[in-house]
Each structure stands twice: as structure tokens, then as C-alpha cells.
Amino acid sequence: MAPTSSRIHPVSEPARTSRLDLVQRPRRNRKSDWARRLVRESALSVDDLIWPIFVMEGKATRAPIASMPGVERLTVDEAVRAAERAAKLKIPALALFPYIDPTLRDPEGSEALNENNLVCQTLRAIKAEVPEIGLITDVALDPFTSHGHDGLLDDGRILNDETVDILVRQALVQAEAGADVIAPSDMMDGRVGAIRAGLDEAGFTDVQIMSYAAKYASAFYGPFRDAIGTAKTLSGDKRTYQMDPGNGLEALREAALDVEEGADMLMVKPGLPYLDIVWRLKEAFGLPTFAYQVSGEYAMIEGAIRNGWVDGDRIVLEALMAFKRAGADGILTYFAPRVAERLAAG
């Protein structure tokens, strides 16, 4: 029988590939905003934010920090205003860092033990006006030493045990002034256990310790050192006590020691370059784990925003979401008030 014009022709290759027999189509879950929100694995909220601020002597003054555009040093009264703003935005906590008058710095960092030093003044002032805000204080000697190191220096060598003795006293001074969380950032061996014992013996059993468990000897700290005034005074570097950026397993060992010594929370510093460490610590220990989006990270992102190279809100939120995806329970970030306002706006 002769073929007719109604004969079915073979399906062409383009038509065949356009009708893929797919059961799994991940794009279905991305089709709309509501669908994406329903299946989102990680979420960022204001409860994840800790706002680091810099304080200085004086009154009613804010001093811009050139290497951290948009960040200022605040006098104590202005720090109280910042705490009021944080409370209004529902940011849970502030982290305090001092810019100490250079005339008060000495090789031993003795101003750190002054019960009325700048940090203690700020703690008392904020607790008097904004008692609901959490206050986290840095325990390390670098803002107070004339050489810019976190511990006592002897012929170029950092003295571990002698430094720990001073750090315990520094922590007690801060706890007495109202610190809610002591955050030792010095990376001396044994300091968490010594501080915990000192706090407990003095009756500060409810004061928490957020250990800088994995603090790396990083190039990302430059603007921070400008902010606290140690960039020009630091002699040598901190590689004998801060961690080597090439090490990951060592971070697990450091964190394990801090957990054993009584740390309530762990921190990784810097942040974005060390997301793998955040993940590993959270997976290994299950403790509340935090990351510090440090000054260099902030300065690069803010610089790009100010040059119009990136979408400001989107890049900031995306960077912070990376911390949450890596397992961080919270983030110390200079973007905290900006992000809180953005989240409140919806």
C-alpha cells in the first residue's frame, strides 16, 4: 500500500530533548517567593546579631575610623545611645572594644586592671540606662599595652602563664562592672579554665565565657588595629600565639581544650575566610558557635558598596547568611544595625 500524507514522521532531536522525562525538577521549589521561603534551609534574624562598638574617652563625641567607613569610636555617653538604638532594634548584645589613651598604655597593660578604666565606665553606664542589653567584653591586653601584644612581652617572647594570671584579674574587673559575657581573645593556653575558676570563686558563676577558640593570625585585622590604636605600636606579629591560617585540625584541638575548661560558647575569627572552621566546630561540639565578621571583611564590603560596585543590602545579607549556612548561631558584625533595620522593614 502506498504511503499517505498522514504518515507519522519520527520526532526530531530538538523536539525529543524539549520533552525530558524528569521526575525531579528542583526548580519547582524556586518558582515563587512563598515557595522559596517555605523550603529555605537557613534563616537570618535579628537574634543572630552582635554589634561590636569602639569606645573612647571624652564626651558627646563620635570619631570616624578612616579604614572602616561608617564606623566610629564613641565616647561613653554616645555608647549608651548606641545601646539604646540596639535595644530598640532588638539586637541582643553589644561587644565592647576600647581605644585607650596612649599615655595610659605600658608594657604590662596595667590599665586593664583599673576598676574605673574605659571599659568598666562603659559597662556601668550602659547597664544603668539599658539593662536589658547583653554586654560582651574582650579579655586581652593588646589595647592596654605599649607594644600592642595580647600578653606580657619578655625579650620578644610572649609569656603565657604570667599573662593568664593578669587576664583572670582583668575578667574579674569587667565582671564586677557588669559584663555579661567574658570573651578572651588572647589565645593564651589555659586561659579559659583559669578565668572560669576565677569567676566562680568570686561569685560570678552566671557570667558566661565566649571563647575565641579559633583565632587566626590574619591579615584581615588591619582596620581593627586602627580602631583601637595598636596598628602603629605593634612590634613584630602575633604568629606565636594566634593560629596558622593553614591549620584546620588544630582548631578542633583548641576548641576541645576550651570546652573542657568550661567555655559556654565558641567563636571563630575571622569569619568568611574560615567558614569551614565554623562548620567543623559546630559539628564536633554542638556548643553555641559564633563567627566574627572582622574589620577587614567589613571594610572590603563597605568599600565596594560605597563605590557602587555591589548591591549593598543584598551583599551584606548574603554574607551573613553564609555564616548561618555554615552552622553559626550568631555573628559579630559591624553591619548589625543596618541589618536589623533591613530585617525589620521586611
* pLDDT mean for each 10 residues of the chain (346 residues): 50 57 90 94 97 98 97 98 98 98 96 98 98 98 95 94 98 98 97 98 98 97 95 90 97 98 98 98 98 98 98 97 98 98 93
Q: Per DSSP, what are the bridge partners of residue 55? A: 74, 98
The active-site residue out of 127, 238, 269, 282 is 269
Residue 57 inside a domain? The answer is yes
Q: What is the pLDDT of residue 228?
A: 96
Can you give the CATH number for the domain in which 302 is found? 3.20.20.70
Residue 269 annotated among the catalytic residues of the structure: yes
Residue 226 inside a domain? The answer is yes
Q: Per DSSP, what are the bridge partners of residue 94? A: 51, 135
* Structural domain containing residue 129: 44-345
Q: What is the pLDDT of residue 192?
A: 98
Residues with Cβ within 8 Å of residue 140, at least 6 apart in sequence: 150, 151, 167, 184, 185, 186
Q: Measured between alpha carbons, how far is 8 from 305 in angstroms, rounded to an integer? A: 60
Q: What is the pLDDT of residue 1?
A: 47
Q: Would you say 130 and 178 are in contact if contact means Cβ atoms under 8 Å apart?
A: no
Instruction: Determine the 3-state secondary structure of 25 from DSSP.
Output: coil
Residue 230 inside a domain? The answer is yes
Q: Would you say 114 and 173 are in contact if contact means Cβ atoms under 8 Å apart?
A: yes
Q: What is the pLDDT of residue 12?
A: 53
Residue 20 inside a domain? The answer is no
CA-based nearest residue to 264, from 294, 243, 287, 241: 287
pTM score above 0.85: yes
Give the count of domains, the chain: 1
Residue 256 inside a domain? The answer is yes
Residue 37 inside a domain? The answer is no
Instruction: Say which DSSP state 46 is in.
Output: G
Kindly state the cell numbers that stand for 27: 526548580
Residue 215 annotated among the catalytic residues of the structure: yes
Residue 9 inside a domain? The answer is no
Q: Measured between alpha carbons, how far is 221 from 136 in angstroms, rounded to an integer? A: 19
Residue 36 inside a domain? The answer is no
147-169 in b/e form (b: 16+ CB < 10 A) is: bbbbbbbeeeebebeebbebbbe
The active-site residue out of 215, 238, 282, 324 is 215
Q: What is the pLDDT of residue 22?
A: 86
